[in-house]
Amino acid sequence: EQESSSNFIKHIVKEDMKNGRYDEVVTRFPPEPNGYLHIGHAKSIVLNFELAEEFGGRTNLRFDDTNPLKEDEEFIASIKEDIEWLGYEWSELRFASDYFDEMYRQAVRLIEQGKAYVEDLSQEEIRAYRGTLKEAGTESPSRSRTVEENLQLFEKMKRGEFATGEKVLRAKIDMASPNINMRDPVIYRIQHATHHNTGDTWCIYPMYTFAHPLEDAIEGVTHSICTLEFEDQRPFYDWVIEQTDIAAEPKQIEFARLNLTNTVMSKRKLKQLIDEDYADGWDDPRMPTISGLRRRGYTPEAIKAFCREIGVAKSDNLVDVRMLEHFVREDLKLKAPRTMAVLKPLKVVITNWPEGEIEWLDAEINPENPEMGTRKIPFSREIYIEQSDFMEDPPKKYFRLFPDNEVRLKHAYFIHCHDYVKDENGDITEIHCTYDPETKSGSGFTGRKVKGTLHFVEASQAKAAEFRLYNRLIDDEKSGDDFLDFVNPDSLEVTDGFIEPNMADVKPHDKFQFFRHGYFNVDPYISNKDKPVFNRIVELKSSFKL
Ligand code: ATP
Ligand code: MG
Ligand code: MG
């Protein structure tokens, strides 16, 4: 196992357990249900679940649904599905909104202790009073309110006597703190909105930074792992934990979020790609969402292996998206049957093959995994090859088919091109070849060598299929100010071609390696029996090296 950076967090946990700070390791994965999970979330999921697992602990799934405006049942369902699909089992399923009573009680306690006050200033005024990094903040006139007055006002906020945004509750900490987050942060706000879970029970809602430490404490979380942008919030997290009368003492630990080349990861941006029709939905195979990757054909094993390999660091970095692709190739290499598919067909007539006769050839399913056995593939007078595998007038080093050249057909025979047919537009419609019976694959023929090996599908038995080939949705090579300037307009190419007849009964999510084309997944939604649809997961080769 690799120790590397991956795991300064593991090291902290080990120390805590050795020192007896905690009896059990409890982590949580706390998504806000305002979108689908993406590959960045996978990093956090793998980290939280596997860390707890390693120490015999447990992990809660907690929906951080403290914002009534953004949450959606569809997102909750998709998040659960994605975590289960990755293969993790949460210990308890929680909703932050289940703790609203307790959070309110904690806020009242703070007021009673003189550690929170109701603020009349507007959001802009609060910001102006807060000061800058160089200058201390200014105390608000509201800061000197009495406990009684604050209790009454907070009660009125709760009862709905004020409009949205009219008042907030602030923690009373230190307006001169060098950490601006400690300058009396807002902990409750008014929002007249219906909440998906609590309905209209509340019109005041806790701020995320106040709610999160309380949620962790309520659940007995020991290690609350979050991304680096919360580092400056840690003193406030600790402050909240210190004030509360809940016994638990969770510890916040920050790590660098995953950034990938050619990928936008924030839910807000992903939503924008959908809203503006650059993608067909959260599970579009071009999206870096877990559901998009799944539909594309990624496996949980590949995603998890990738997340483990990148490890966790304390400073931001950018990971090459080709590394993710590397792991899906690695995972499918031995698992996926290798078959032949012609994506852009061109007909070849074998002129010396008897009309109407079919030979069924033996072909191994995966040379790197002989246990997968063999399959039968047909060969006859008419076959399809790729359009790009023939050139009338080839450049040097073109080793595929051209007039008077000979190539090998995978699992079959050598064929020699002696003629071709063009239509009135000058497009090539048919190639004429002869085959040499002596060159049959597996016969040990060594009489002469050819430089090219082509794949093919026999025409009479071929099954029609659709292939969806993806390019990067976000192209880092472009330039612009807005991320939408980087959207690649040619990220999807759809072609009609043929697959081998033995693949007639493919099912959603069946995965194949098509000789020379890469790995493909049967689309779970648009594929059908008459015409299967294959998403290209990844091409076979990459210049990327791990
Ligand atoms: P986004 O900005 O994409 O909406 P978020 O952080 O707001 O992400 P949450 O639903 O709040 O999304 O995140 C749930 C958990 O996933 C958090 O603990 C968060 O730190 C983690 N997470 C989100 N994005 C990444 C990422 N790119 N890399 C690692 N962890 C992430
Ligand atoms: Mg968020
Ligand atoms: Mg966000």
Which pLDDT tens digits describe the chain residue by residue (546 residues)? 344 445 899 999 999 999 999 999 999 999 999 999 999 999 999 999 999 999 999 999 999 999 998 778 899 999 999 999 999 999 999 999 999 999 999 999 999 999 999 999 999 999 999 999 999 999 999 999 999 999 999 999 999 999 999 999 999 999 999 999 999 999 999 999 999 999 999 999 999 999 999 999 999 999 999 999 999 999 999 999 999 999 999 999 999 999 999 999 999 999 999 999 999 999 999 999 999 999 999 999 999 999 999 989 888 889 999 999 999 999 999 999 999 999 999 999 999 999 999 999 999 999 999 999 999 999 999 999 999 999 999 999 999 999 999 999 999 999 999 999 999 999 999 999 999 999 999 999 999 999 999 999 999 999 999 999 999 999 999 999 999 999 999 999 999 999 999 999 999 999 999 999 999 999 999 999 999 999 999 999 888 888
CB 252 within 8 A of CB 224: yes
Q: Give the C-alpha separation, 274 to 474, whole Å.
A: 13
From the alpha carbon of 37, which atom of ligand 1 is closest?
Answer: 10
State the CB neighbour count (10 A cutoff) for residue 377.
22
Ligand 1 proximal residues by C-beta, below 6 Å: 30-32, 40-41, 43-44, 226-227, 257-258, 265-267
Distance 32 CA to ligand 1 centre (A): 8
**ipTM value greater than 0.85:** yes
Q: Which amino acid is at 198?
A: T
Q: Give the C-alpha separation, 457 to 417, whole Å.
A: 17
Smallest Cα–Cα separation from 27: which of 3, 65, 56, 6? 56
Residue 34 labelled as part of a binding site: yes
Residues 70, 109, 143, 257: which is the catalytic one? 257
Distance 257 CA to ligand 3 centre (A): 12
Domains of the chain: 338-538 (2.40.240.10)
Residue 88 labelled as part of a binding site: no
Residue 38 labelled as part of a binding site: yes
Distance 34 CA to ligand 3 centre (A): 9
Whether 267 is a known active-site residue: answer: yes
From the alpha carbon of 265, which atom of ligand 1 is closest?
Answer: 3
Alpha helices in 194-299 (DSSP H): 208-219, 234-243, 267-275, 290-296
Whether 32 is a known active-site residue: answer: yes
Smallest Cα–Cα separation from 57: which of 93, 21, 14, 27? 27
Nearest ligand to residue 230 Cα: 1
**26 Cβ contact list (under 8 Å, min separation 6):** 52, 57, 58, 59, 60, 91, 219, 220, 221, 222, 223
Distance 411 CA to ligand 2 centre (A): 53
Whether 105 is a known active-site residue: answer: no
Give nearest CA residue, ligand 1 atom 14. Answer: 31
Residue 209 labelled as part of a binding site: no
The predicted pLDDT at position 508 comes to 98
Quote the pTM value.
Answer: 0.95
Q: Give the C-alpha separation, 366 to 425, whole Å.
A: 41
Distance 268 CA to ligand 3 centre (A): 7
The predicted pLDDT at position 3 comes to 45
Residues with CB under 5 A from ligand 2 (ion): 32
Ligand 1 pocket mutation, candidates 6, 41, 259, 267, criterion most atoms within 8 A of CB: 41
CA distances from 68 to 61, 94, 268, 297, 348 (A): 19, 16, 17, 34, 63
The predicted pLDDT at position 6 comes to 52
The predicted pLDDT at position 71 comes to 72
